[in-house]
Amino acid sequence: NAGVMQNPRHLVRRRGQEARLRCSPMKGHSHVYWYRQLPEEGLKFMVYLQKENIIDESGMPKERFSAEFPKEGPSILRIQQVVRGDSAAYFCASSPPNSGSTGELFFGEGSRLTVL
Protein backbone atom coordinates (compact mmCIF):
# COMPACT_ATOMS: atom_id res chain seq x y z
CA ASN A 1 0.00 0.00 0.00
CA ALA A 2 1.72 3.12 -1.21
CA GLY A 3 2.07 5.94 1.24
CA VAL A 4 1.22 9.57 0.72
CA MET A 5 2.89 10.69 -2.49
CA GLN A 6 3.96 14.24 -3.02
CA ASN A 7 5.51 15.78 -6.09
CA PRO A 8 7.63 17.43 -6.97
CA ARG A 9 10.04 16.79 -4.11
CA HIS A 10 11.97 19.90 -4.97
CA LEU A 11 10.74 22.93 -6.89
CA VAL A 12 12.59 26.09 -7.78
CA ARG A 13 10.69 29.15 -8.91
CA ARG A 14 11.57 32.75 -9.58
CA ARG A 15 9.65 35.52 -7.91
CA GLY A 16 6.31 36.10 -9.59
CA GLN A 17 5.97 32.58 -10.99
CA GLU A 18 3.39 30.04 -9.95
CA ALA A 19 4.05 26.91 -7.90
CA ARG A 20 1.84 23.84 -7.98
CA LEU A 21 2.34 21.10 -5.45
CA ARG A 22 0.56 17.78 -5.74
CA CYS A 23 -0.45 15.24 -3.17
CA SER A 24 -1.95 11.80 -3.64
CA PRO A 25 -3.28 10.47 -0.34
CA MET A 26 -2.99 6.90 0.79
CA LYS A 27 -5.45 4.49 -0.73
CA GLY A 28 -8.78 4.69 1.05
CA HIS A 29 -8.03 8.07 2.61
CA SER A 30 -10.45 10.86 1.82
CA HIS A 31 -9.07 13.55 4.11
CA VAL A 32 -6.11 15.65 3.07
CA TYR A 33 -4.18 18.24 5.04
CA TRP A 34 -1.51 20.68 3.98
CA TYR A 35 1.11 21.98 6.38
CA ARG A 36 3.95 24.40 5.87
CA GLN A 37 7.29 24.20 7.60
CA LEU A 38 9.39 27.32 7.36
CA PRO A 39 13.13 27.09 7.97
CA GLU A 40 13.89 26.75 11.67
CA GLU A 41 10.18 26.80 12.53
CA GLY A 42 7.54 24.29 13.41
CA LEU A 43 4.75 22.85 11.37
CA LYS A 44 1.88 25.19 10.61
CA PHE A 45 -1.55 24.00 9.52
CA MET A 46 -2.74 25.49 6.26
CA VAL A 47 -5.84 23.74 5.00
CA TYR A 48 -7.97 20.63 5.47
CA LEU A 49 -9.87 19.18 2.55
CA GLN A 50 -12.15 16.31 1.77
CA LYS A 51 -13.09 15.29 -1.73
CA GLU A 52 -14.39 18.38 -3.55
CA ASN A 53 -14.71 20.33 -0.31
CA ILE A 54 -12.55 22.69 1.68
CA ILE A 55 -13.34 21.97 5.32
CA ASP A 56 -10.99 24.38 7.05
CA GLU A 57 -8.70 26.90 5.39
CA SER A 58 -8.04 28.98 8.46
CA GLY A 59 -4.28 28.59 8.06
CA MET A 60 -4.10 29.66 4.44
CA PRO A 61 -2.82 33.13 3.57
CA LYS A 62 -5.68 35.19 2.19
CA GLU A 63 -3.97 35.97 -1.07
CA ARG A 64 -2.08 33.96 -3.67
CA PHE A 65 -2.68 30.58 -2.02
CA SER A 66 -5.39 28.12 -2.97
CA ALA A 67 -6.02 24.41 -2.55
CA GLU A 68 -8.28 21.85 -4.09
CA PHE A 69 -9.01 18.17 -3.83
CA PRO A 70 -11.06 17.17 -6.85
CA LYS A 71 -13.21 14.10 -7.17
CA GLU A 72 -10.57 12.53 -9.36
CA GLY A 73 -6.87 13.12 -9.08
CA PRO A 74 -4.52 14.49 -6.47
CA SER A 75 -4.91 17.40 -4.14
CA ILE A 76 -3.16 20.52 -5.38
CA LEU A 77 -1.75 23.41 -3.43
CA ARG A 78 -1.28 26.38 -5.70
CA ILE A 79 0.80 29.44 -4.93
CA GLN A 80 0.53 32.31 -7.36
CA GLN A 81 3.13 35.05 -7.81
CA VAL A 82 5.55 33.44 -5.41
CA VAL A 83 7.77 35.55 -3.18
CA ARG A 84 10.95 34.61 -1.35
CA GLY A 85 9.03 34.23 1.89
CA ASP A 86 7.13 31.31 0.36
CA SER A 87 10.31 29.24 0.40
CA ALA A 88 9.51 26.36 2.71
CA ALA A 89 8.76 22.68 2.91
CA TYR A 90 5.11 21.89 2.23
CA PHE A 91 3.83 18.67 3.70
CA CYS A 92 0.70 16.84 2.81
CA ALA A 93 -0.95 14.37 5.15
CA SER A 94 -3.94 12.13 4.82
CA SER A 95 -6.25 10.16 7.04
CA PRO A 96 -9.12 7.75 6.48
CA PRO A 97 -12.74 8.79 6.93
CA ASN A 98 -14.27 8.42 10.38
CA SER A 99 -10.91 8.09 12.10
CA GLY A 100 -11.92 10.80 14.53
CA SER A 101 -9.59 12.41 16.97
CA THR A 102 -7.93 9.13 17.93
CA GLY A 103 -6.58 8.62 14.47
CA GLU A 104 -3.22 9.60 13.11
CA LEU A 105 -2.03 11.52 10.11
CA PHE A 106 0.10 9.90 7.45
CA PHE A 107 2.58 12.31 5.98
CA GLY A 108 4.26 12.53 2.64
CA GLU A 109 7.94 13.34 2.33
CA GLY A 110 7.22 16.95 1.50
CA SER A 111 7.79 19.34 -1.37
CA ARG A 112 10.56 21.80 -0.86
CA LEU A 113 9.94 25.09 -2.62
CA THR A 114 12.78 27.50 -3.20
CA VAL A 115 12.00 30.93 -4.56
CA LEU A 116 14.90 32.74 -6.14
Partner 1 sequence: GNSVTQMEGPVTLSEEAFLTINCTYTATGYPSLFWYVQYPGEGLQLLLKATKADDKGSNKGFEATYRKETTSFHLEKGSVQVSDSAVYFCALPSTNTGNQFYFGTGTSLTVIP
User: Binding string, 84-103, against partner 1, x = CB under 8 A?
Assistant: -------x-x-x---xxxxx
Separation CA 29–CA 46 (nearest Å) = 19
Which residue in the set 56, 61, 73, 116 belongs to the binding site for partner 1 (CB under 8 A)? 56
* Using rule CB under 8 A, residue 2 touches partner 1: no
* Using rule CB under 8 A, residue 69 touches partner 1: no
Alpha-carbon torsion angle 58, 93, 55, 57, nearest 10: 20
Which residue in the set 26, 54, 109, 114 belongs to the binding site for partner 1 (CB under 8 A)? 109
Separation CA 111–CA 92 (nearest Å) = 9
Alpha-carbon torsion angle 108, 70, 46, 100, nearest 10: -70
Which residue in the set 7, 17, 26, 45 belongs to the binding site for partner 1 (CB under 8 A)? 45
Number of residues in contact with partner 1 under rule CB under 8 A: 27
* Using rule CB under 8 A, residue 31 touches partner 1: yes
Count CB-CB contacts under 10 A for residue 45.
Answer: 15
